[in-house]
Amino acid sequence: MEALETVEFLDPVCELQTEYQPEDYEGDDPRWCKGCGDHAILQAVQRMLHASQIAPESVVCVSGIGCSSRFPYYLKTYGFHGIHGRALPISLGVALAREDLHVITVMGDGDCFSIGAGHWLHAMRYNPNLLVLVFDNEVYALTKKQASPTTKTGMNTNTTPHGAFLQPLNPLSVMLGMPNLSFLAQTATWIPAHLTATIERAWNHRGMAFVRILQRCPIFSPTAFGADGNPSVDLAFLEHEEGIRIEKVLRKRGEIIAHNPRNLENARHLAEQTAVERMGLLYYNPAVPVYDDLRRSQVTRLTAEQKLETMEAELNKYTI
């Protein structure tokens, strides 16, 4: 029998280049109410993913509970719909176990700042490699209008029928008081150009990029942060070469403030002035160590044999 001739190709490896289309990031049809700010955030995230041309299967969206937490269903990526207040520890687990995946964490104001507050504070201290988006409409909306930590004093809710009597939490000031904070920005759903630019800037940060997104619930908090165009709602856009780009049209929407996001003291000063909503990158410190890297450096020091020996030693502690 004659030996078959082997034909060798000059280029044995052929890689197909894939260009992703916008619909490649679109999941189920959103079921949010008409006029809900969540729609704008979803579109901004989908635009950002499409612009980055990242493979949908390399992204995981993790959420807690609330209207915002239906987000994973509406992205054609991997998703994990968690439980109330627990989106951050789930996200951290995914990030540590799968270094190859990009994790987007989605929470509401009650989900993050109330029942999830413990995880929120320690996540900032850890500085894991996560994109964290908090949708703040100043109320619990999914459960039909209860006061949340950011509800303004005097607002009538089902738990404060005569008006909220506690001062609202200032999430920006809280975060700027925590060690290891590496990225803090604020934007709003009714400023789509700034919203998209902020999410894009946060996406490219290595570490915990925290974005507070101001929004309105059209049913239970339609006047949160004032109705659109209300002159009593003052906006100020923070400008710096390392910050969020400000489109020309936005320069008529509010005051432009020069702010170096690496200046922690000035960031704290700006956050304390709650009469004006600061839009942009408040704080940025790329030198903060990333928890994922610190954790893996400890684990990878062990050889396979050492890991096996350690496991066997633990198992040998048990007796029958």
Whether 254 contacts 237, CB under 8 Å:
yes
pLDDT, mean over the chain: 89
Higher pLDDT, 228 or 318: 318
- Overall number of domains in the chain: 1
Residue 2 lies inside a defined structural domain of this protein: no
Range of the domain at 239: 31-288
Helix, strand, coil abundance in the chain, percent, nearest 5: 35, 20, 45
User: What percent of the chain has pLDDT above 90?
Assistant: 65
Higher pLDDT, 167 or 154: 167
Q: What are the Cα distances from residue 46, in Å, to 23, 100, 148, 174, 176?
A: 9, 20, 28, 29, 29
- CATH of residue 277: 3.40.50.970
Residue 114 lies inside a defined structural domain of this protein: yes
Taking the model in full, what pTM does it have? 0.87
pLDDT for res 2: 52
Q: 182-230 pLDDT, tens per residue?
A: 999 999 999 999 999 999 999 999 999 999 999 988 888 887 887 554 5
pLDDT for res 9: 46
DSSP string, 20-61: --GGGGB-SPP-SPTT-THHHHHHHHHHHHHHHT--GGGEEE
What is the sign, positive or negative, of the torsion defined by CA atoms of 94, 178, 183, 74? positive
Paired residues of 235 in beta bridges? 277
Q: 224-280 pLDDT, tens per residue?
A: 887 554 545 688 999 999 999 888 878 878 889 999 999 999 999 999 988 889 999
pLDDT for res 269: 97
40/36 Cα distance (integer angstroms): 8
Would strands 78-81 and 59-63 be described as parallel, antiparallel, or unpaired?
parallel
Residue 229 lies inside a defined structural domain of this protein: yes
Neighbours of 229 (CB within 10 A): 8
pLDDT for res 219: 86
Residue positions counted in the chain: 320
Residue 97 lies inside a defined structural domain of this protein: yes
